[in-house]
Amino acid sequence: FLCLSVLQTACSVSHSSSSLSAFSSHKLPTVVQKGKGHSKLEALFNHPLYNLPRPELQEDDWLLRVKGDEDDSDTENEEEEREEEDREESATNDREWRSASEEDGYDKAAWTSDSETHPPWLRFHLGISRWELYDRKDPNLAEVTHYLATQRILNVVQKTGGTQLKLLMSFPNYGQALLKPMRQSRDAETDVNLFYFSDFERHNAEIAAFHLDRLLGFNRIPPVVGRLINMSTEIKEITTDRRLSRTFFTSPVGNMCFYGQCEYYCSTEHPVCGRPHVLEVSLATMLPDLSLAPRRSWRSPWRRSYSRTKQAQWEKDPAYCDTVKQTPPYNQGSRLVDVIDMAILDFLMSNMDRHHYETFEKFGNETFLLHLDNGRAFGRHSRDEPSILAPLRQCCRIRRSTLLRLQLLSHPDFRLSDVMRESLARDPLKRVAPLLSEPHLSALDRRLATVLQVVRDCQDHHDDIIYNDLEAGAS
Ligand SMILES: Nc1ncnc2c1ncn2[C@@H]1O[C@H](COP(=O)(O)OP(=O)(O)OP(=O)(O)O)[C@@H](O)[C@H]1O
Ligand SMILES: [Mn+2]
């Protein structure tokens, strides 16, 4: 019970631990940390800017829905017929799944349309809407991360696609997670001579990005949680993937290692190693399968050239944004300010690797942007990368709600580094070491000040900077 409501930390820490009391969930009365005052994180999430009235969601604002009995008769227009087909397809998939459940280890699924019967990952899928991936106040969010952090791992295979090693983990009631392993010590800074496209991915960056995105009020990154796994019993002995299992070896000091098969860093020279077989990893909740919820991938207009020598157009042309503003889908609705939100997130965590973003096809152009793949963030704390802010600097547009939240986060009562530290302390890996070192946390405050300065510079030279998403009528 408590395990679920105070997030995963609670379950494995003894009652005498005082660090626990600071991390009460919104469902419990606020427990004040001894001698340290109140929780800034709770104060932030209680602020009106994090509790804005939201437009009432219509039926087609949900990504998926459970087929109910009353749905059977409503096939009046084409749209609904198409959805009907989708639902039938999903029902078929469910049946196929259920027959697969005869396999060892999988629970017999007895899910009905009653959400009480659904496992946390399914409730997460059913909660995805047109405007956000999850509702921050939904208690299921803590249950999803708790689930990923504690459930038995049933199977492991390598996930194809992308360039670096990733594993797909399966759990007893059909949940899945995307695993990225720890490859470097927490506070190793990326070598200054390494290009961003050669940088290792970091498991703690995936975790921290989820927390940061949520603190910014975006809710556009699937829940990610840290976990310690046993490489022998939770990968090597159970994987059905030969390409993976044959890359295991024991290092000269006796640690268990593997390297898998992929384009970058999958070799004996770049092993993933445990101590001696315990490995820190990040686990990201999987989005609904592409067959149920197809996604569209968009090339970022501010994509880097991914070449040592070439510059991208946006780096050469100061009026680049004028072109973007006239090009669909950036010429309408919130798409341009959504890309600018994404640039702000990326600048704060110094992620230069946002070559693409994705959306759910079902919602067309009127929807939020998914911020997937954040493994190359938080590589350096001692330097900022101004070019990541090019969309904001060149377009001088920003959502009103984003600007107001950034201003709030720069206020000492809600300081970004403080709420980030508090939020990350809820992750189970906090017991091993803080998810982000103090220099990374201070870098967040420094970069936030830079973002606000860029907005002020814009205000000195341009009109029409604010995209007012807080007024009725604007979305
Ligand atoms: N939580 C998720 N659920 C479902 N699919 C995901 C999730 N996260 C990532 N993916 C998919 O997996 C693909 C590869 O993941 P990711 O981008 O993290 O790997 P990568 O090796 O860094 O790829 P690249 O080298 O192309 O940047 C993504 O493009 C995305 O479509
Ligand atoms: Mn990547």
* Residue nearest atom 10 of ligand 1, based on CA coordinates: 372
Atom of ligand 1 nearest to the CA of 373: 18
Distance 149 CA to ligand 2 centre (A): 23
Contact between residue 185 and residue 43 where contact means Cβ atoms under 8 Å apart: no
Minimal CA–CA distance to 450: which of 364, 370, 310, 344? 344
In the chain, % of residues over pLDDT 90: 73
Tell the residue number behind the tokens 């503003």, with chain if given.
325
By annotation, the residues acting in catalysis are 353
Q: Are 89 and 67 spatial neighbours (Cβ–Cβ below 8 Å)?
A: no
Sheet holding 224-230, edge to edge: 155-158, 167-170, 176-181, 278-285, 224-230
CA distance 332 to 357: 18
Distance 54 CA to ligand 1 centre (A): 30
Give the Cβ contact number of residue 367 at 10 Å: 22
180 Cα nearest atom in ligand 1: 18
Helical axes 438-461 vs 335-349, angle rounded to 10°? 140
Q: Please choose from 148, 361, 372, 374 the residue to mutate so as to test ligand 1's pocket, defined by most ligand atoms within 8 A of CB.
A: 372
| Residue 92: half-sphere exposure toward Cβ, Cα within 13 Å | 8
Residue 47 and residue 40 in contact, taking contact as beta carbons nearer than 8 Å:
no
Q: Residue 351: which residues within 8 A CB-CB, separation 6 or more?
A: 205, 209, 345, 374, 376, 377, 378, 388
Partner residues linked to 229 by β-bridges: 279
Here the contacts of 250-256 (C-beta below 8 Å, separation 24 or greater) are: 256/231, 256/232
77-95 pLDDT, tens per residue? 545 445 545 544 444 444 4
Residue nearest to atom 1 of ligand 1 (CA): 286
Residue 292 C-beta-side C-alpha neighbours within 13 Å = 20
Please tell me the distance from the alpha carbon of residue 176 to that of residue 147, in angstroms, as a whole number.
Answer: 10
Rounded to the nearest angstrom, the gap between the alpha carbon of residue 171 and the centroid of all alpha carbons in its chain is 20
Instruction: Please state the φ and ψ torsions of residue 376, each to the nearest 5 degrees.
Output: -100, 10
For the stretch 171-181, what's the b/e string if a residue is b when 16 or more beta carbons lie within 10 angstroms of its beta carbon?
bebbbbbbbbb
pLDDT for the residue numbered 36: 57
Ligand 2 center–CA 113 separation, angstroms: 36
Give me the pLDDT at residue 67, please.
75
Do 241 and 173 contact (CB within 8 A), yes or no? no
Smallest CA-to-CA distance from 377 within 307, 289, 295, 436 is with 436
Q: Residue 333 region, left (φ>0) first, then alpha (ψ -120 to 50), else beta?
A: left
Report the pLDDT value the prediction gives residue 54, as an integer from 0 to 100: 84
3-state secondary structure labels for all residues of 211-268: HHHHHCCCCCCCCEEEEEEEHHHHHHCCCCCHHHHCCCEECCCCCEEECCCCCCCCCC
Distance 151 CA to ligand 2 centre (A): 27
- DSSP one-letter code for 184: S
With H, G, I as helix, E, B as strand and everything else as coil, classify residue 272.
Answer: strand
CB contact burial 1-30 (16+ within 10 A = b; e otherwise): eebbbbbbbbeeeeeeeeebebbbbeeeee
Q: How many CB atoms lie within 10 A of CB 143?
A: 21
Residues with pLDDT less than 70, the chain: 1-37, 68-103, 472-475
Helix (H) or strand (E) holding 155: strand 155-158
CB within 6 Å of ligand 1 — which residues?
A: 161-164, 166, 178, 201, 222, 284-287, 372-373, 375
Quickly list H helices, 101-119: none
